[in-house]
């Protein structure tokens, strides 16, 4: 604990904003991990089972199965089934509306990680520069070499700020890229699944009478 307090004090005033950024980053990472586990929930075989029910004309059974599953994919598939009496163009718009709402939830708070990745190393560098400037000013005012040696040790302490900033940036960078990649995967998977289900409904003649080209 004493070493941690020393490390924090040695970094200078920039350790305070870095501390706030690190707390915010950890909070976002934990919150997003929980959110992605729900919104990005994958039920193995859900799409395949749903398509099989639709091709067999068991639309209500398909709806019940999809409705029992959580997540973005299930929400969009359920929208397709609930609006199957409409024309394909109307179904597409309904799915797009629900999908955009779900995709917005996936992206929530991610800009905080992106911003922290950029700001943290800059704050660390600022703390180091301020610490080194103060150290060299003290060296210039020193009266003997022994004092100089003692003052020079402060340069190493000033680097604590840079080390802290870079550590925070690396963690946030990795987390942001993982969440961004997962988001793209969920979006692509959802759009493809909704398209396949809509085409299956069209092939089964289960959509509205207004004819619109299949997706």
Residue pLDDT, tens place only, 147-185: 555 555 556 666 788 889 999 999 999 999 999 999 999
Q: Does the pLDDT value for residue 215 go beyond 80?
A: no
Do 151 and 142 form a contact (C-beta atoms < 8 A)? yes
- Rounded to whole angstroms, the Cα distance separating 15 from 21 reads 10
pLDDT at 5 over 80: no
Residue 211 has pLDDT above 60, yes or no: no
pLDDT at 146 over 60: no
Polymer length in residues for the chain: 215
Contact 30, 113 (CB under 8 A): no
Whole-number mean pLDDT of the chain?
85
User: What is the pLDDT, as a whole number, of residue 3?
Assistant: 65
Q: Is the pLDDT of residue 190 over 80?
A: yes
Asked if 24 and 130 touch (Cβ cutoff 8 Å), the reply is no
Q: Is the pLDDT of residue 111 over 60?
A: yes
SS3 136: helix
**Lowest mean pLDDT across 35-49, 117-131, 142-156:** 142-156
pLDDT band with cut points at 50, 70 and 90 for residue 212: very low
Question: Which position has the token pair 């398509």?
Answer: 51
Nearest Cα residue to 86 out of 195, 202, 193, 215? 202
Percent of the chain with pLDDT over 90: 61
pLDDT of residue 213: 44
* CB contact at 8 A, 127 and 13: yes
pLDDT greater than 70 at residue 138: no
- Please give the Cα distance from 165 to 22 (Å, whole number): 9
Cα–Cα distance measured from residue 44 to residue 35, given in angstroms and rounded to the nearest whole number: 19
Give the pLDDT of residue 155.
65
Q: What is the CA radius of gyration of the chain?
A: 28
Task: State the greatest distance between any 2 C-alpha atoms of the chain, in Å, as a whole number.
Answer: 94
Do residues 214 and 88 lie in contact, with contact meaning Cβ atoms separated by under 8 Å? yes
Higher pLDDT, 57 or 12: 57
**Tokens 């988001």 -> residue:** 183
Return the minimum-mean-pLDDT range out of 40-44, 86-90, 106-110, 188-192: 40-44
17-56 burial: b if 16+ Cβ within 10 Å, else e: ebeebbebbeebbeebeeebeebbeebeebbeebbebbee
- Please indicate whether residue 130 or residue 202 has the higher confidence score (pLDDT): 202
Residue 191: pLDDT over 50: yes
């Amino acid at each position: 604990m004493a070493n941690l307090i020393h490390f924090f004090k040695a970094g200078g005033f920039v350790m305070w904003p870095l501390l706030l950024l690190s707390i915010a980053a950890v909070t976002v990472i934990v919150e997003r991990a929980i959110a992605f586990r729900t919104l990005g929930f994958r039920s193995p075989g859900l799409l395949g089972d749903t398509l099989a029910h639709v091709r067999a004309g068991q639309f209500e059974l398909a709806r019940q199965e999809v409705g029992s599953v959580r997540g973005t994919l299930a929400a969009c598939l359920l929208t397709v089934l609930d609006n199957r009496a409409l024309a394909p163009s109307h179904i597409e718009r309904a799915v797009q509306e629900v999908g955009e709402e779900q995709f917005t939830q996936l992206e929530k708070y991610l800009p905080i990680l992106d911003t922290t990745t950029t700001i943290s190393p800059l704050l660390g560098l600022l703390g180091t520069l301020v610490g080194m400037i103060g150290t060299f000013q003290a060296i210039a005012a020193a009266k003997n070499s022994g004092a100089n040696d003692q003052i020079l040790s402060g340069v190493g302490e000033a680097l604590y700020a840079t080390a802290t900033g870079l550590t925070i940036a690396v963690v946030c960078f990795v987390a942001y890229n993982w969440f961004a990649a997962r988001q793209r995967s969920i979006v692509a998977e959802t759009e493809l699944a909704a398209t396949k289900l809509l085409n299956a409904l069209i092939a089964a003649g289960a959509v509205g009478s207004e004819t619109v080209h299949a997706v």
